[in-house]
Structure 1
Amino acid sequence: MPLLSATGGLLRPPKAPGLRHIEVLAGMQLGAAVISPHRMQLRRVAVFAQWEDEPALVVFLARHRFGRKLNEGWHVRLEFVRRWGEVRELAPLPETAGRLELDEPVVAVTLARMRLPELPRFIHWGRPVERQIRDHPEATLAMAAIRLPRTVSTFSIWTSTRAMTGMVFGRDDGGAARRHAEAMNERERRDFHREFTTLRFKPLSEHGSWEGRANYVPWPG
């Protein structure tokens, strides 16, 4: 996205009829060095939004200046399934709204408001987990995003719920299998975040392309 449009979205998130909540963030490459241009890619915009209904989203993408820019990229439309933890803006979501079969594709989103003094610990424990998810053979797309000073998010698409939960709880093979579970234990010991939530979704439809590719969701059949 043009730098001016991207920066404007970060500083002044758009408003639109039917838009319940929106997070506009700068893209971040999972596993990148802490001091690196890949850590905060201002022109690569990531947006996570909750809508009253799909028609409101369609109008936003067609008519809103920022929405039209987003519509030139790639997005996936999602149905909320489960929530762990809480971020104030998304607190009205129930803990459970549905279920997924173990062999169904799933999308996972995390959203956190950091405790800034805990940032060094978060980086120490988080970067190995970033590489674990980025390189996982069952993750068809894995990325992160950031908005200074304290908001971070991750987004990943998985071939199945079974594969994703296997990674989360350290049931995979190999030396890196326990990274995520160990980082969760460390977070329980002393939280990195002021607020944190993990959200699980069922993918409904996929639109556009990103980095020359479409069909990131492994649709059944």
Structure 2
Amino acid sequence: MTVHTFHLAELPPARTSRALLRPPSGTTTPGLEHAECLALMRLGAPTVSPDRLQLRRVAMFAQWRDEDAVERFLDRDPLGRQLAEGWHVRLEFLRRWSRLAALPDLPARAGSWGRDEPVVAVTVARMRLGEVPRFLRWGKPVERLVRDHPGTTLALAAFRPARTISTFSVWRSVREMEEMVHGRSAVEAPDRHAAAMAERRRRDFHHEFATFRFRPVSEHGAWEGRTGIVPV
């Protein structure tokens, strides 16, 4: 059964650079269907800032044939063993909006969910480089909205030069995530996400863009001293 994972770890900058340049693939890693390796960014950080490309902190989002493939990677692969020292969550795919060429076989919807259950959201986008200034203008308020939202237990962004950007957020409930998306949260300027999405529809920032919704299945390790990031 297909499983997705999202990993966070602190690595030497040279190791992160190698992962960005040559991410694992199905050719090198049995059972891996696709992986995105990225350097972390701090949501809402200034555009010109060390926090916008943190080469000591790496994220990997991956799709696997089954959990046995995940275990082999974490146990035997040099990068996998380093990621195993960090934190990761295993995920059950539920829904997608739009599509990535790298993940062509995911259906639009694969399950049902309760509005009060925890949920994980992942976005992956390939930027139009000429649209980056416009994207930052509209995207930074959304970054701060998600970062500071009382419904998230973890929210971050990651980047792979020159044009791939991803966001990852863990939500206490589907309801709180959907309220944020539609601008109905009880927070300051709740319509920031909805406004940015309207602007993207007017003129797209990206060559391709997809949002994925997952049910968290199991959590492993610790991140920045934290465990229990996924609500129970």
TM-score range, shorter chain: over 0.9
Partners of 2:20 and 2:186 lie apart in 1 by 39
Distance, in Å, in 2 between the alignment partners of 1:5 and 1:118 is: 30
Q: Tell me by how many angstroms 1:4 deviates.
A: 1.6
Matches within 5 A, 1:1-221: 1-14=11-24, 15-219=28-232
The whole-number CA distance in structure 1 between the counterparts of 2:132 and 2:36 is 20
State the identity %: 60
CA distance in 2: counterparts of 1:217 and 1:163, whole angstroms: 15
TM-score by length of 1: 0.98
Cα displacement string for residues 11-64 of structure 1 (whole angstroms, at most 9, x for unaligned residues)? 111230000000000000000000000001011000000000001000100000
Q: Which amino acid in 2 is paired with 1:137?
A: P
Alpha-carbon distance in structure 2 between the residues aligned to 1:91 and 1:199: 13
- Tell me how far apart the structure 2 counterparts of residues 68 and 10 of structure 1 sit (CA, whole Å): 17
**Counterpart of 2:158 in structure 1: which amino acid?**
A
Partner SS for 1:175: coil
> What is the CA distance between 1:190 and its match in structure 2?
0.3
Give unmatched runs, 5+ long, in structure 1.
Answer: none
The separation in 2 between residues aligned to 1:159 and 1:13, in whole angstroms, is 31
Runs of 4+ deviating beyond 3 Å: none
**Root mean square deviation of aligned Cα:** 0.7
Q: Deviations over 1:175-216 (max 9, x none)?
A: 320000000000000000000000000000000001011110
- The one-letter code sitting in structure 1 at the alignment partner of 2:139 is G
Gaps of at least 5 residues in structure 2 are 1-10
Q: What whole-Å deviation, never above 9, does each CA across 1:88-120 have from its counterpart, x for those lacking one?
A: 001210000011100000000000000010101
Partner Cα distance (1:66, 1:118) in 2 = 33
Whether the aligned pair in 1 keeps the contact of 2:155 and 2:169 (CA below 8 Å) is yes
Per-residue deviation at 1:174? 3.7
Aligned-residue offset at 1:166: 0.2
Give TM-score scaled by structure 2 length: 0.93
